[in-house]
Amino acid sequence: MSAYRRYDEVAVGDVYPAEPLTFDVSADVVDGFLSATGNDGSLYRERSGTRRAPSMIASAYLIDLLMARRSPPGGIHAKQSIRFHRPIEVGEKLSIQGTVIEKYIRKERPYVVSSFETRGSDGTLVSSGQVTSIWGKDL
């Protein structure tokens, strides 16, 4: 079996991964993200023993989530919606899961739309939204 899924193997209602994946909001991940995006991190310095993390660290956990779909390489991120429900802190462990809610062909390009939810270890909603991707070319 290929490590990747063909577009015709993707179905509306698919939940991925089968069990929510976990993402550790570590100091290393946050520092790497801030550095790579040219953010001086002034909002994210430790205060009173806690350190806030940037909400868009979502771009790291969303990549982990999208990899769980096993799309072939070369796919393109077409649209993104995301709502943040609460701030997150360094040291948190998040869980993320997605569901395919739509697929369609437009201009001969195969699109997949997924919804996702991210929750903290206490079950509270951290972020939610939708990702629209052009599926990578079948191998």
Partner 1 sequence: MSPAAHALSSDATQIAVGDTLPMLTRSITQEMINAYAEATGDFNPIHVDPEYSRTGPFGRTIAHGLMTLAFVAQMLNEWSDGRFDACGEIDIAFVGPVFVGDTVEVTGSVEELVARDGETCARIRLVCRAGERQILAGHALQPIENGKS
- Residue 24: C-alpha distances to residues 1, 27, 38, 93, 97 (Å): 30, 9, 22, 5, 15
Which residue's CB is nearer to partner 1, number 11 or number 108? Answer: 108
- Least CB distance from residue 37 to partner 1, whole Å? 5
Which residue's CB is nearer to partner 1, number 64 or number 138? Answer: 64
Which residue's CB is nearer to partner 1, number 11 or number 38? Answer: 38
- Least CB distance from residue 95 to partner 1, whole Å? 17
- Least CB distance from residue 17 to partner 1, whole Å? 15
Cα distance between residue 17 and residue 97, in whole Å: 6
Hey, is 64 helix, strand or coil? helix
User: Would you give the DSSP letter of residue 74?
Assistant: T
Cα distance between residue 120 and residue 35, in whole Å: 25
Q: Interface with partner 1 by CB under 8 A: which residues?
A: 29, 32-33, 35-39, 43, 52, 54-56, 58-60, 62-64, 67, 73-88, 132
* Partners of 67 in beta bridges: none
- Least CB distance from residue 115 to partner 1, whole Å? 13
